[in-house]
Structure 1
Amino acid sequence: MHTLTPIAASSLSLPTDSYIYSITPAAPGTFAAISSDDSLRVFDAANLDRESVIAPKTHDGGVTALRTYSSGDAQLLATAGRDGRVRLWDARAGNGSAAVEMETVKHAPVLSVACHAETSTVVAGTELVSSQAVVAFWDIRSPAACRLQYVESHNDDITELQYHPTRSNILLSGSTDGLVNIYDTTITDEDDALVQVINHGSVHHAGFLSERTIYALSHDELFSVHPATDPDEPTQEPEPVHFGDVRQPLGCEYIAQLCIGSQGPYIAAGNKADHRLDLIPLVSDPAWRFDQDSLWRLPGAHGEEVVRSVYLDEQSQSVFTCGEDGFVRVWKPADDDVQAPVESAKGARPKEKRQKDRFKPY
């Protein structure tokens, strides 16, 4: 076991009793945060006290999601809300006005967002409204109307969206209906676009571990790893690995998320009673398992409050966390620890070996 040391903390000048829901990279050296007062704030990674309010009120009814939208020199931030809108914000403008705004049909509340700047695309996943949960696509150059919608693949709230790491046409969605769906978004017919369906349980988080591997985490902490099938390759795929409820084997009360650093994927496991958060490596050699002997512990974590978001920052070699205590906290490894989850390129293992150890599908 290794230990990360807290080096800084800030409430970002938020009102008392605020929650911080999510953090994500903004411009180089900065991060953005959304919180329970529905604001969007940007802070300096090197000095948390240097923060600015990009929008004091991002959405009526509550902000639900935050993502980075990057294209060339433009560094925009995407937020979604229960008002049925997705908005893009230019942090450099600082005028409290969205640069681009998109709206769902019937003002369906948006719970999840994904962005693909190379194709000028923003995708939203909605709550179930009028018996429909929608995956809606916009081209931000023509934001007035959706360019594509999938309306039949989920029958409950869509909680997760993520693009494939290398293929711009492949999108993953997850829902409280228990399904993780994979689409080829170049296909407009919804039945034909759906290339893979995984039945997991009410999806809290899901995503790509690698180009050929998918993970799923349910709201009751069931975890599984699945091969991404390729319809053009009729070879026999490996069987999925079902870990079941990971709380007892990992000694935790909840799973905050899965995050990927230079050393591979880590699951962020929280324990409020013991005031700690553990970053536990997920390794694939010889078979998928959690390497608990190599975990990184964040002692104290966010006290008795839940950690909501974790980011492994390679640039500053730090771990950023935020939570329901209303604070952003920064953690660093001891100087003599060279296998940190945020290990620099100088100390990292050779790329070929790291990919074999951490990203081999099975």
Structure 2
Amino acid sequence: MAHRMRLPPPLLFPSTTSRPLRLAAQINYDPTNPANPPYVLHSVAHKGGYLFAASDDTVRAFSPTLQPLGQLPVAQRGITSMVKGSGKDSNAVFVTAKDGTVSCWDTRDLTKEAFRLKGKTRAGYLTASQSSDQSCLAVGTELHQYEAMIDIWCATRRPCIGCIHGKLTRGSGEWSLAYRDLRTMQIQHTYTEAHSDDITVVAFHPSPSLPHVLLSGSVDGLVNTYDVRIVDEDDAVQSTAQFGASLASAGWMALPGQEGSSDHKGIFGATTIETVQYWDMEQQEQIVDFGDVRDVALQPFRTEYLIGAHYNEALGGVCLLGGSLEGDVALINAKDPERWYLEQLLSAKTSPKAHGCKGHRDIVRTACVNAETATIVTGGEDGRLCLWSP
């Protein structure tokens, strides 16, 4: 396995193309508890607005303009992640929890849980991802009795009126669906040997042609890829990368020169010690090791911690979300190994803002980029939600 030497920290330049966002709206996550608000930890954008999950195991819905829509009747304990179902038009949101369950919510009707899955052991569920064909759900667990597991749940194909996925077709005067009913999901197999510690991230490949390819990252520093059609774990593992530190986030990306292709063969990973690496998983070769992102040039923004990372199709590269201890957030285009660009600086101190909005005053724990509306929502340890828009 080939490794490249670590490059000097890239320089950070102001973007010359992005339109600055302003602080358009702000609201307390829990208006009944302004003195001791819960931390806002997770966020998901959907067609009807946003869902946020907090440290008190509540999930609340808000409109696209951050108007409160109500609290979901969540019964899980120890919420660990919240992720939207695959596909642009998906109405599904999956919530994992330390109680070893993953629930599914239909954003068209948030008054009740669509269904809930429970693992075969007492291991807490930490992260989930749905395959691009919407037939499988991979769920990673914490270390339990010396094993960290990936459960592969798969659905059967059957008619299902009101199914969370699929398109309605008109025939003989009636609406009908003949797609996979996610409520029929069962564990097809479980991988138990690829990781030796908590599994912090799983991500199916986004391409419709590769719905069976999955990556996983762990506290053990490894990122693996699998063909989940294969039951035997030794045969299922396709490639492995060692990041040298606990993985906080990871995902698929296009390799240089392949930005127009959907069959991404690269991965990015960010660790809990704020380091970032890119890998070519087909060749099992490290492309670049950026080291500690806090070493990037101090102006015009200093990153003090990473909130997250994602592959941005429009920019053709990985975007990092960095934060400051004062509650500012930066969206950084990290496509170029030598020159990073500050696409957005979300700061109530320097950005235009709506009357009465003050922005965050503490660490930001979640940020959700909505490419369709060109907006970003953020939530943090101050219990505030902020909407940033053009």
What TM-score results when the alignment is normalised by the length of structure 1?
0.81
Partners of 1:189 and 1:86 in 2: CA distance: 24
Summarize deviations over 1:149-169 as a string: whole Å, max 9, x none.
101000100000111121101
Q: Which residue of the partner structure matches residue 228 of structure 1?
A: 281
Mapped pair 1:5 → 2:22: yes
Q: Which residue of the partner structure matches residue 103 of structure 2?
A: 87
Q: Secondary structure of 1:122's match?
A: strand
> What are the residue-to-residue correspondences of 1:198-213 with 2, within 5 Å?
198-200=241-243, 201-210=245-254, 211-213=264-266
Aligned mate of 2:303, from 228, 252, 271: 252
Q: Which residue of the partner structure matches residue 77 of structure 1?
A: 93
Partners of 1:332 and 1:72 in 2: CA distance: 21
Partners of 2:212 and 2:333 in 1: CA distance: 29
Summarize deviations over 1:127-183 as a string: whole Å, max 9, x none.
000000000011244657411110100010000011112110110100001100111
Mapped pair 1:296 → 2:337: no
Summarize deviations over 1:275-309 as a string: whole Å, max 9, x none.
4211111124xxx24424x4421114853422222
Q: Which residue of the partner structure matches residue 234 of structure 2?
A: 191
Distance 1:180 1:95, change over 3 A: same
Letter of the aligned partner of 2:345 in structure 1? R
Mapped pair 1:18 → 2:38: yes
Q: Secondary structure of 1:311's match?
A: strand
Q: Secondary structure of 1:183's match?
A: strand
Q: Which residue of the partner structure matches residue 177 of structure 1?
A: 220
Mapped pair 1:132 → 2:147: yes
Q: Secondary structure of 2:334's match?
A: strand
Mapped pair 1:53 → 2:62: no
Aligned mate of 1:276, from 301, 304, 328: 328
Contact 2:83 2:129 in 1 (8 A): yes
Q: Which residue of the partner structure matches residue 44 of structure 1?
A: 63
Contact 2:306 2:322 in 1 (8 A): yes
Partners of 1:87 and 1:266 in 2: CA distance: 29
Q: How far did residue 248 of structure 1 move?
A: 2.1
Q: Which runs of 5+ in 2 are unaligned?
A: 1-13, 156-181, 255-263, 350-358
Partners of 1:42 and 1:116 in 2: CA distance: 25
What TM-score results when the alignment is normalised by the length of structure 2?
0.75
Distance 1:204 1:36, change over 3 A: same
Summarize deviations over 1:313-336 as a string: whole Å, max 9, x none.
122221221212212211124xxx
Partners of 1:170 and 1:21 in 2: CA distance: 28
Summarize deviations over 1:15-68 as a string: whole Å, max 9, x none.
531111111123x141211112212222111x211422222x3412x1111111
Q: How far did residue 212 of structure 1 move?
A: 1.8
Partners of 1:100 and 1:131 in 2: CA distance: 29
Partners of 1:215 and 1:279 in 2: CA distance: 16
Partners of 1:143 and 1:158 in 2: CA distance: 25
Q: How far did residue 9 of structure 1 move?
A: 1.1
Q: How far did residue 11 of structure 1 move?
A: 2.0
Distance 1:289 1:31, change over 3 A: farther
Partners of 2:25 and 2:124 in 1: CA distance: 35
What is the root-mean-square deviation of aligned Cα atoms in Å?
Answer: 2.3
Letter of the aligned partner of 1:241 in structure 2? V
Contact 2:377 2:386 in 1 (8 A): yes
Partners of 2:57 and 2:100 in 1: CA distance: 14
Letter of the aligned partner of 1:51 in structure 2? L
Aligned mate of 1:154, from 185, 188, 195: 195
Contact 1:209 1:215 in 2 (8 A): yes
Letter of the aligned partner of 1:148 in structure 2? H
Q: Secondary structure of 1:192's match?
A: helix
Mapped pair 1:219 → 2:307: no
Distance 1:306 1:227, change over 3 A: same
Q: Which is greater in Rg?
A: 2
Q: Secondary structure of 1:42's match?
A: strand
Q: Which residue of the partner structure matches residue 290 of structure 2?
A: 243
Runs of 4+ in 1 over 3 A off after TM superposition: 12-15, 70-74, 91-96, 140-145, 300-304
Contact 1:15 1:37 in 2 (8 A): no
Partners of 1:268 and 1:142 in 2: CA distance: 35
Contact 1:259 1:311 in 2 (8 A): no
Contact 2:115 2:183 in 1 (8 A): no
Aligned mate of 2:81, from 65, 70, 73: 65
Contact 2:83 2:128 in 1 (8 A): yes
Distance 1:58 1:260, change over 3 A: farther
Partners of 2:149 and 2:44 in 1: CA distance: 25
Partners of 2:87 and 2:269 in 1: CA distance: 29
Q: Secondary structure of 2:91's match?
A: strand
Contact 2:278 2:286 in 1 (8 A): no
Q: Which residue of the partner structure matches residue 311 of structure 1?
A: 368
Partners of 1:223 and 1:79 in 2: CA distance: 26
Q: Secondary structure of 1:107's match?
A: coil
Say how many residue pairs are matched: 317
